């Protein structure tokens, strides 16, 4: 597991412990603050911006900038300033990992500051391409005759439904990986192959138990499937080499940049809780009885929430209903 540099705290403040980095990365690429947002460089051409809503990943190169997620709408101007502090090259592509407001809120502001991957000389307005799974567009738009929850300027301009959407930008192969049904029906992950960086969206959320949105097609079974696929297909563990740190860098939807071991721990935590609740269901326990038995005991201090829109009880409820409804 990544060893975090505690000595950084007196320099940048206690709040940045949540975004700490490996010791070697700190020495080479210290964090910077622009527009009140923290930015760290995790690869030669890959940066992560914290504090704009969901984590925002920025890849730079000769083709321009590729962003994964665009933060929340009220932080969009500050996010754009932080992006400009990294590079003044044109923003070419925004990839949304879900339809959640803290992932798509900056689409209009950030998109309007860029140009598309394939500019149209006859278009009235050229904006950065916004790519997402088709269900993101369906969630952000609305059936005919009903008001849309988002203005059209925030909608994805390109969508896909295939297992992968692959492209080559900035001298790197980028794979957008469909993983719908984990947290919701819109989940994707993004792999920068040459940089060896995987952006997970909220499939990995190191700040709390994952938000399993049952109303939008999420389930604990598909969440665990996503984590197991992530670990077996896309994330390379760190193999110690003399003076050469390695392994895939994992950028979660929220929380600090992590690695293979951190995701294994997160997956194992969810597996243990799921198995406990499954056993309780098989014993005929009701949801109230399961809640009272506290199946998340041992993990609440790190991942639990008692207030806010997503609490530990809601997480247990989602796991219980996912397992209960899947029984024959």
Phi, psi of 271 (to 5 degrees): -65, -45
Edge to edge, what strands does the sheet with 129-133 contain?
A: 32-34, 37-43, 46-50, 56-61, 64-68, 91-95, 129-133, 158-160
CA dihedral sign of residues 264, 226, 70, 317:
negative
pLDDT at 247: 87
List C-alpha distances in Å: 176 to 61, 84, 167, 198, 200: 18, 24, 9, 10, 10
pLDDT per residue rounded down to tens, the chain (328 residues): 433 332 333 333 323 334 444 434 433 467 888 888 999 999 999 999 999 999 999 999 999 999 999 999 999 999 999 999 999 999 999 999 999 999 999 999 999 999 998 877 666 678 999 999 999 999 999 777 788 889 999 999 999 999 999 999 999 999 999 999 999 999 999 999 999 999 999 999 988 999 999 999 999 999 999 999 999 999 988 766 555 567 899 999 999 999 999 999 999 999 999 999 999 999 999 999 999 999 999 999 999 988 778 899 999 999 999 999 876 5
pLDDT of residue 18: 41
Q: What is the pLDDT of residue 114?
A: 94
- At residue 17, the pLDDT reads 34
pLDDT of residue 5: 32
Q: 6-265: which CATH architecture?
A: 4-Layer Sandwich (3.60)
> 197-205 and 249-254 as β-strands: parallel, antiparallel, unpaired?
parallel
Pull the structure tokens for residue 200: 């997970």
Q: Where are the domains of the chain?
A: 6-265
């Amino acid at each position: 597991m990544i060893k975090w540099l505690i000595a950084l705290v007196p320099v940048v403040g206690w709040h940045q412990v949540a975004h700490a980095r490996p010791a070697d990365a700190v020495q080479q690429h210290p964090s910077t603050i622009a527009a009140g947002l923290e930015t760290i460089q995790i690869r030669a051409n890959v940066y992560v911006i914290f504090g704009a809503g969901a984590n925002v990943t920025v890849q730079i190169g000769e083709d321009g900038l590729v962003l994964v997620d665009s933060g929340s709408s009220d932080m969009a101007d500050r996010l754009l300033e932080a992006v400009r502090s990294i590079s003044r090259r044109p923003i070419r592509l925004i990839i949304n990992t879900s339809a959640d407001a803290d992932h798509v809120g900056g689409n209009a502001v950030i998109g309007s500051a860029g140009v598309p991957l394939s500019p149209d000389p006859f278009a009235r307005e050229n904006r950065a391409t916004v790519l997402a799974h088709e269900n993101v567009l369906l969630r952000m738009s609305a059936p005919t005759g009903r008001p849309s929850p988002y203005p059209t300027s925030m909608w994805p301009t390109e969508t896909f439904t295939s297992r992968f959407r692959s492209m080559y930008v900035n001298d790197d192969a980028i794979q957008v990986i469909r993983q719908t049904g984990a947290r919701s029906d819109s989940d994707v992950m993004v792999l920068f192959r040459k940089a060896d960086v995987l952006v997970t969206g909220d499939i990995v959320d190191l700040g709390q138990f994952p938000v399993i949105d049952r109303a939008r097609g999420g389930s604990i079974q598909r969440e665990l499937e996503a984590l197991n696929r992530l670990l077996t297909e896309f994330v390379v563990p760190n193999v110690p080499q003399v003076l050469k740190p390695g392994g895939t860098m994992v950028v979660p939807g929220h929380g600090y940049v992590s690695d293979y071991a951190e995701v294994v721990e997160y997956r194992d935590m969810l597996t243990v809780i799921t198995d406990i609740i499954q056993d309780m269901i098989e014993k005929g326990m009701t949801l109230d009885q399961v809640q009272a038995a506290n199946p998340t005991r041992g993990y609440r201090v790190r991942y639990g929430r008692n207030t806010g829109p997503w609490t530990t009880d809601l997480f247990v409820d989602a796991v219980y209903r996912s397992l209960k409804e899947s029984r024959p």
